[in-house]
Amino acid sequence: MAVLLPPKATLVLGGVGSCLILVGGNFHMPILNELGKIALTAAVVGFWVYLIVLLLYEPGVPRQPDLGLMTYLRAFFSDWLTIMCGPASVPFTALAIWSTQRTTKVIWFGFAIACGIFGSYRVWRKGRLEAYNKLPRE
C-alpha cells in the first residue's frame, strides 16, 4: 500500500494551514496566506486519498463482526435513499447556523436532525434485515 498521511497528521496540517491563512490575512502577509492555502489543500487531498483507499481496501473474511467506522460508512453509502438523506443533514445544519431569523434556524435544524436520524435508521434497518435473513429457519 502507498504511504499515506494518517488522519491525525492531516488534521494537524489542516489546522496549521488554517492558522497560517488567518495570520497571513490579518497581518497582510501574502506568503503566509499562500503557505496556508498549500498546507490546507494538502491536508484535504491527503485526507480524501486516505479515506478512499480505506473504503476500497477490503481485507479477507473477518472472524469477528467488523464494527469499524469504514464498515459503517460503506453501509451508509450503499443505499441511494441513505445517500440522499444522510449527507443532506450537513448543509441543513450550515443553514441553521448561518440563518438570521429564529424561525428559520429551528426549521433548518429540524431538517438536519430528521435527515441524520433517517440516514442512520436506514443503515440500522439494513443491518437488522441482513442479520434476520442469516438466522436458521425451522
pLDDT, tens only, 105-135: 888 888 888 888 888 888 888 888 888 888 8
- Range of 66's domain? 62-138
Residue 3 sits in the same domain as residue 46: yes
Total domains, the chain: 2
Q: Using pLDDT thresholds of 50, 70 and 90, give the confidence band for residue 62.
A: low
Residues 120 and 75 in one domain: yes
Q: Are 55 and 73 in contact (CB under 8 A)?
A: yes
Average pLDDT, the chain: 79
With 0-12 CB in 10 A as exposed, 13-18 as middle and 19+ as buried, what is 13?
A: buried
Do 6 and 43 belong to one domain? yes
Residues 67 and 17 in one domain: no
Same domain flag for 26 and 74 = no
* Same domain, yes or no: 74 and 10: no
Phi-psi region of 60 (alpha: psi -120 to 50; beta: other; left: phi over 0): beta
- At residue 100, the pLDDT reads 84
Which H or E run includes 75? helix 69-76
Residue that finishes a domain, picked among 15, 32, 57: 57
C-alpha cell at 115: 435527515
Instruction: Say whether both 25 and 80 belong to one domain.
Output: no
Pick the more confident residue, 104 or 6. Answer: 104
pLDDT of residue 57: 66
Gap between the Cα atoms of 3 and 1, Å rounded:
7
Task: Check residue 1 and give its pLDDT.
Answer: 41
In a shared domain, residues 134 and 70: yes
